[in-house]
């Protein structure tokens, strides 16, 4: 049933690294005493519940008490299957007790009622049933790992880190179906992508699917090796995220000279296609970690174990004025590992990792079906007076999904619940909804006998190809430079590419979603366009005329003080949240990522001089105790830009790696040739004519002129052209999709 490591295995392993252990033991002892304000409530739970729930594990006599002594290894038996099973059973009990406790806390009045409405919506975002089930299972496995660690480490010279290294080498597979069994997926030979991303990779059908754990390129730095928030090398707390935000990311938004607001908007849109890190919620509602109106931290006995609030100091330059001392923050949901093994926590991606239009079409079958009109291959849309084109449909229960002042305000339904974050994001969703229906109508005219299903799938395939083309042909080279595309061999090909590899995991890298890509929060301009009185076309015109902010460590107060404030006077700090989120996910340090990205690992702050300016090095040295402590989100943001890119070396490398995997690991990538689902050469040539400007021209009523490069501001080098000028803004002719009448069922 189990692949159980033997005591001998463990002893050999421990003995091999004995000298290292002695040093680590000291660190381990330090860790044990420095949990402080950021610890999860593990101690509380184990203290109170363990002896009641798990008498076997609570006893002080260890079943494997002599395991780590380095003599007479031959006499030792294997770690008993009973121990592992007992850890699993208790892990389940403990995590269920923790979730019951979470529900009770909300029911007893510790809820988010006093937050602004939009903040409340943010923290109460519901999990679908299957996502919740997987998240619950991962809690059980994490708790079981922790119990095993406690048991094995309690009476011996072993630290959390060495325990994890041991697990890594001797993975304890849990093949007890009642606890966890690896997904078994049967794939058909479909010509189209599945909605949930399964079966894209035929060798690893689970890769890139909705609900998959994020992939890692660096070992995590949880302080207990498993799930506890990271600490500084010294064992003390890492610097406060809000302090880092105010000291290093000044509120001084500088306009980008070249990039439009649309460039920022596309970035957020493709982010939402690639990943979604949902937060833990209870069955009774969102988790509150602060005293009602942020005036302080809840005492630990009232805090949910998933709380990771951000403390704010009394002299904070903004919140100090309002007496705010605590910003709510809750841990991301976690996923079981692909093989169900015990080990450190992995966070869950609750959308498909592929760049596959999941934000438009949904990542699960139920949502996908709800979004379809079931006629002519179209998506559901609503009509408005005075406009020939459709708009996004509304959710059934608007008040539950949106922050509304009155019920006539919109609250949209799309493939992604984050659509309502800003009006300009909803605008982009609308453009793509219209594009789908426009394409479906043309295909239907060309092939009147095609079924709704065939039209939907073909239109979806074309729209996804357009999204991929715009991203890889226009957006990536503009933001990260042509060199980067060449270096990673993902430059647009003349026609087909043949680079698909079923050995490349298309999953989203944890350090990309919880670190590197979030740096682009700095290009959010200070006026987030929120003008419901403007017409749709006005918003589109505005978005290609307005500038994005410069990509630098200066960010607008709109997101560093006022996020989700709605009618309140203060909101959240997205920069502090990005830093705290990186810690929540146990992301390796900036220094570790430097090394992965080919730079020399810094031993002193001064070693950063090649990438970071002296004044920023000085600021970092004042805030962090040790160069190894620097968070990825902070160190990466301080680096000078790589030539031709809006990112510094380390972020650039992580982002490049991600877009490489997103392309090479996607069997359905639009220009893959010689596959049963590949576009014909005529079709692909047409797809490659598309552009952001064309997408705007084809899906608005009254936008007649657009600059050719819509992600760049208008200039003499990038002038506006008429939408009717098909030479300057080429048009995608779909006649290549006309099939002979007998060709109905391919």
Annotated binding residues for heme b: 521
**Binding region:** 521
The only residue of 99, 246, 271, 683 in contact with ligand HEM, by rule CB under 6 A: 271
Give the nearest distance from C-beta 613 to ligand HEM in angstroms.
24
Exactly one of 139, 272, 469, 547 is catalytic; name it. Answer: 272
The only residue of 475, 517, 651, 721 in contact with ligand HEM, by rule CB under 6 A: 517
Number of residues this chain uses to bind ligand HEM (CB under 6 A): 21
Give the nearest distance from C-beta 53 to ligand HEM in angstroms.
32
Known catalytic residue: 272?
Answer: yes
Q: Any contact of residue 518 with ligand HEM (CB under 6 A)? A: yes
Give the nearest distance from C-beta 13 to ligand HEM in angstroms.
36
Instruction: Kindly state the DSSP code that residue 648 receives in the 8-state scheme.
Output: B
Cα–Cα separations (whole angstroms), residue 290 to 238, 302, 589: 20, 10, 28
Q: Any contact of residue 273 with Ca ion (CB under 5 A)? A: yes
Residue 120, contacted partner among Ca ion, ligand HEM, none, CB below 5-8 A by kind: none
Query: 382 has which bridge partners?
Result: 391
Residue 162, contacted partner among ligand HEM, Ca ion, none, CB below 5-8 A by kind: none
**Distance (Å, rounded) from C-alpha 462 to C-alpha 468?**
10
Give the nearest distance from C-beta 358 to Ca ion in angstroms.
3
Q: Are 574 and 560 in contact (CB under 8 A)?
A: yes
Q: Which two tokens stand for residue 737?
A: 């999709």
Q: Any contact of residue 194 with Ca ion (CB under 5 A)? A: no
Report the residue number, 488 or 711, with the smaller CB distance to ligand HEM: 711
Enumerate long-range contacts of 362-371, CB under 8 Å, 24 or more apart: 362/195, 362/415, 362/416, 363/195, 363/196, 363/197, 363/210, 363/415, 364/128, 364/130, 364/195, 364/196, 364/210, 365/195, 365/196, 366/128, 367/415, 368/195, 368/415, 370/413, 371/413, 371/414, 371/415
The only residue of 222, 276, 669, 737 in contact with ligand HEM, by rule CB under 6 A: 276
Residue 264, contacted partner among Ca ion, ligand HEM, none, CB below 5-8 A by kind: ligand HEM
SS (H, E, C) 364-382: CHHHHHHHECCCCCCECCE
Q: Any contact of residue 260 with ligand HEM (CB under 6 A)? A: no
SS (H, E, C) 369-419: HHHECCCCCCECCEECCCCCCEECCECCCHHHHCCCCCCCCCCECCCCHHH
Report the residue number, 584 or 666, with the smaller CB distance to Ca ion: 666
Q: Any contact of residue 268 with Ca ion (CB under 5 A)? A: no
Task: Note the residue count of the chain.
Answer: 746
Report the residue number, 271 or 303, with the smaller CB distance to Ca ion: 271
Output b/e per residue, 381-392; b: 16+ Cβ within 10 A: beeeeeeebbbb
Instruction: Kindly state the DSSP code that residue 586 receives in the 8-state scheme.
Output: T
- What is the x/- site pattern for ligand HEM, positions 520-559, by CB under 6 A? xx-xx---x------------------------------x
Cα–Cα separations (whole angstroms), residue 31 to 36, 231, 306, 506: 10, 8, 19, 35
Q: Any contact of residue 167 with ligand HEM (CB under 6 A)? A: no
User: Three-class SS of residue 251?
Assistant: coil
Q: Any contact of residue 356 with Ca ion (CB under 5 A)? A: yes
Q: Any contact of residue 364 with Ca ion (CB under 5 A)? A: no
Q: Which two tokens stand for residue 401?
A: 């999904």
The only residue of 28, 38, 577, 608 in contact with ligand HEM, by rule CB under 6 A: 577
Q: Which of these segments, 266-274, 294-302, 310-318, 327-335, binds Ca ion (CB under 5 A)?
A: 266-274
Give the nearest distance from C-beta 330 to ligand HEM in angstroms.
8
Catalytic positions: 272
Residues that bind Ca ion (CB under 5 A): 273, 352, 354, 356, 358
Question: Rule CB under 6 A: which residues touch ligand HEM?
Answer: 264, 267-268, 271, 275-277, 421-422, 513, 517-518, 520-521, 523-524, 528, 559, 574, 577, 581
């Amino acid at each position: 049933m189990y692949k159980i490591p033997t005591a001998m295995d463990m002893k050999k392993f421990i003995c091999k690294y004995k000298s290292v252990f002695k040093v680590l033991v000291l660190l381990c002892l330090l860790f044990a005493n420095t949990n402080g304000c950021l610890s999860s409530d593990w101690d509380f739970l184990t203290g109170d519940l363990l002896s009641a729930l798990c008498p076997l594990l609570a006893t002080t006599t260890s079943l494997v008490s002599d395991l780590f002594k380095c003599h007479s290894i031959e006499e030792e038996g294997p770690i008993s299957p009973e121990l592992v099973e007992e850890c699993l059973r208790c892990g389940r009990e403990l995590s269920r007790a923790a979730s019951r406790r979470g529900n009770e806390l909300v029911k007893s009045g510790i809820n988010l009622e006093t937050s602004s409405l939009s903040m409340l919506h943010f923290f109460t975002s519901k999990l679908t049933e299957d996502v919740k089930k997987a998240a619950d299972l991962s809690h059980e496995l994490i708790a079981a790992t922790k119990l095993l660690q406690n048991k094995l480490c309690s009476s011996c010279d072993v630290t959390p880190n060495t325990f994890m290294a041991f697990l890594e080498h001797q993975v304890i597979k849990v093949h007890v179906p009642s606890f966890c069994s690896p997904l078994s997926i049967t794939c058909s030979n479909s010509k189209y992508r599945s909605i949930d991303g399964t079966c894209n990779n035929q060798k690893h059908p689970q890769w890139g699917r909705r609900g998959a754990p994020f992939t890692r390129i660096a070992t995590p730095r949880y302080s207990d090796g498993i799930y506890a928030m990271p600490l500084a090398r010294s064992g003390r707390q890492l610097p406060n995220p809000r302090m880092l935000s105010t000291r290093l990311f000044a509120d001084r938004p500088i306009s980008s000279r070249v990039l439009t607001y649309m460039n920022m908007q596309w970035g957020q849109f493709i982010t939402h296609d690639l990943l979604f890190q949902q937060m833990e919620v209870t069955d009774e509602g969102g988790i509150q970690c602060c005293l009602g109106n942020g005036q302080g931290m809840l005492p630990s006995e009232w805090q949910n174990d998933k709380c990771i609030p951000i403390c704010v100091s009394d002299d904070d330059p903004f919140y100090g004025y309002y007496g705010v001392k605590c910003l709510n923050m809750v841990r991301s949901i976690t996923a079981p590992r692909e093989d169900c093994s015990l080990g450190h926590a992995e966070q869950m991606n609750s959308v498909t990792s592929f760049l596959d239009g999941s934000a438009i079409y949904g990542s699960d079958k139920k949502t996908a079906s709800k979004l379809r009109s079931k006629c002519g291959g179209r998506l559901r849309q609503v009509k408005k007076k005075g406009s020939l084109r459709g708009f996004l449909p509304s959710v059934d229960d608007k008040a539950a999904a949106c922050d509304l002042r009155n019920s006539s305000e919109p609250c949209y339904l799309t493939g992604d619940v984050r659509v309502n974050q800003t009006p300009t994001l909803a605008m982009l969703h609308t453009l793509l909804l219209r594009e789908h229906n426009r394409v479906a109508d043309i295909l239907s005219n060309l092939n009147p006998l095609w079924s709704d299903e065939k039209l939907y799938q073909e239109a979806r395939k074309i729209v996804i190809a357009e999204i991929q083309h715009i991203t890889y042909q226009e957006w990536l080279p503009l933001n990260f430079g042509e060199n980067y595309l060449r270096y990673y061999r993902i430059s647009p090909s003349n026609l087909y590419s043949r680079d698909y590899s079923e050995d490349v995991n298309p999953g989203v890298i944890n350090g990309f979603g919880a670190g590197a890509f979030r740096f682009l929060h700095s290009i959010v301009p200070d006026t987030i366009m929120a003008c419901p009185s403007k017409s749709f076309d006005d918003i589109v015109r505005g978005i290609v005329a307005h500038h994005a902010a410069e990509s630098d460590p200066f960010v607008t107060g709109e997101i560093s003080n006022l996020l989700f404030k709605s009618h309140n006077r203060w909101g959240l700090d997205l920069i502090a949240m990005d830093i705290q989120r990186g810690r929540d996910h146990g992301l390796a340090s900036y220094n570790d990522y430097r090394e992965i990205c080919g730079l020399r690992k810094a031993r002193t702050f001064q070693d950063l001089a090649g990438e970071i300016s002296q004044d920023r090095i000085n600021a970092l040295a004042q805030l962090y105790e040790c160069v190894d402590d620097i968070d990825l989100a902070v160190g990466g943001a301080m680096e000078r830009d790589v030539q031709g890119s809006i990112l510094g070396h380390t972020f650039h490398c992580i982002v490049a790696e991600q877009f490489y995997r997103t392309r090479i690991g996607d069997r359905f990538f639009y220009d893959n040739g010689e596959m049963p689902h590949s576009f014909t050469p005529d079709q692909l040539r047409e797809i490659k004519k598309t552009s952001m400007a064309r997408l705007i021209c084809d899906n608005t009523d009254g936008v007649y002129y657009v600059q050719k490069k819509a992600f760049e501001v208008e200039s003499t080098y990038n002038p506006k052209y008429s939408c009717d000028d098909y030479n300057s803004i080429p048009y995608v002719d779909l006649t290549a999709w006309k099939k002979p009448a007998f060709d109905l069922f391919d």
